[in-house]
Amino acid sequence: MSDLRALLGIEHPIILGPFGGLSSTALTAAVSNAGGLGSFGLYGYDGDRIRTTGAELRAATDRPFAVNIWLPTGDEVEPNPQHTVFAQALQPFYEAVGLDVPSRPERYTPALEEQLDAIWEIEPAVLSVVFGVPSADVIGEAHQRGIRIVGTATTVAEAVALAAAGVDAVVATGAEAGGHRVSFLRPAEESLVGTFALIPQVVDAVDVPVIAAGGIADRRGVAAAFALGAAGVQVGTAFLAASESAANQAHRDAIRSTAADETVLTRAMSGRLARGARNRVVRAIEASGTIAPFPMQNWLTGRFRAAAGEQNLGALQSLWMGQGAPLVRHETAADVFAELVAGVPAAL
């Protein structure tokens, strides 16, 4: 189980979950500087922004850190005339934050190749990926540059596919986890395996270190993950509530006040299944029955979500969180990290 620390160059087998849109240099650096692996989500970042982020991370920590990207699944839509129809359906939310209905952009997300070119330049210690298996070329290029590759699985079959492709470690993420369900072999709704069931089965099925994720927010969850055979843990919600994260106060307050059975899996905010609080905007979009495909819906809601975040309007944000939210107790990344490390078996 100590292999993960040597593999990633870290002191403690604690990994920060990458947040698409909610990552911060301060939080990433805090986890890395504490001896874990800080992670930064690069969803939607173009090459220049990735280079800038890499420079900021290098200035904030001299320890290993990870960056995370979303692999294309092949079903993503490009901007098309339907954009206007779906945008108009969201007009009340734009008006609520003082925005006009946005016109159609040239693209919703940067190309994977553009992101990778920049990642090779900043050379993080680890590149983690979601929504698929990285190609042999990507894995080969990463390894040639001394970059470890970590894949993410929601089922045993996905973990096996990632290990067979040559990733260095697998994050096995249970259905309890907050944010997007990153399934890629079967629909996300058909890949909802709980952490307690998923981890030991993945450990038995692959020969690379397995990192447990989903519902882990304190020392008890860490101890349970190691008892199930995990080599490390990845924690999102507890760190998202910390003062160093990019979440605003409304989001932090929601994490601390939402019961485990009050989170919901929904496609309302992005067009892909994700877990978060069922706030007013989620309820309204679900009731409308009008949800654009990914990434159109994500781009469209992103316009008013960003403004709502600046205005601290939790009712109009994506309040991503996992079912372990009621376990969150600590205010700073250092205190969260210390709590998690206390659950690592003494034998390590």
209: Cα within 13 Å, side-chain hemisphere: 20
Residue 45 lies in a domain: yes
Residue 180 lies in a domain: yes
Inform me whether the pLDDT recorded for 318 exceeds 80: yes
In this prediction, residues 215-240 reach a mean pLDDT of 98
Per DSSP bridges, beta strands 14-16 and 232-235 are parallel
Per-chain mean pLDDT for the chain: 97
Inform me whether the pLDDT recorded for 198 exceeds 80: yes
What's the total number of domains in the chain? 1
Q: Residue 193 — pLDDT band, cuts 50, 70, 90? A: very high
Q: Residue 177 — pLDDT band, cuts 50, 70, 90? A: very high
Inform me whether the pLDDT recorded for 158 exceeds 50: yes
Residue 302 lies in a domain: no
Model pLDDT for residues 259-305, shown as the tens digit of each residue: 999 999 999 999 999 999 999 999 999 999 999 999 999 999 999 99
Q: What percent of the chain has pLDDT over 70?
A: 99
What is the domain extent for residue 210? Answer: 3-75+108-256+324-341
In this prediction, residues 215-236 reach a mean pLDDT of 98
Model pLDDT for residues 131-156, shown as the tens digit of each residue: 999 999 999 999 999 999 999 999 99
| Length reported for the chain | 348
Residue 28 lies in a domain: yes
Model pLDDT for residues 33-63, shown as the tens digit of each residue: 999 999 999 999 999 999 999 999 999 999 9
Residue 218 lies in a domain: yes
| pTM recorded for the entire structure | 0.97
Inform me whether the pLDDT recorded for 2 exceeds 70: no
Which CATH number do you get for residue 216?
3.20.20.70
Q: Quote the pLDDT of residue 1.
A: 43
Residue 222 lies in a domain: yes
Q: Residue 347 — pLDDT band, cuts 50, 70, 90? A: confident
Model pLDDT for residues 106-129, shown as the tens digit of each residue: 999 999 999 999 999 999 999 999
Inform me whether the pLDDT recorded for 343 exceeds 60: yes
Q: Quote the pLDDT of residue 344.
A: 97
Model pLDDT for residues 58-111, shown as the tens digit of each residue: 999 999 999 999 999 999 999 999 999 999 999 999 999 999 999 999 999 999
Instruction: Measure Cα distances from 71 to 3, 68, 334 in Å.
Output: 27, 10, 31
Contacts of 186 (CB under 8 A, 6+ apart): 155, 157
Beta bridge partners of 11: none
Residue 102 lies in a domain: no
Q: Quote the pLDDT of residue 131.
A: 98
Amino acid at 245: S
Residue 121 lies in a domain: yes
Instruction: Measure Cα distances from 15 to 114, 127, 196, 211 in Å.
Output: 26, 13, 18, 9
Inform me whether the pLDDT recorded for 312 exceeds 50: yes
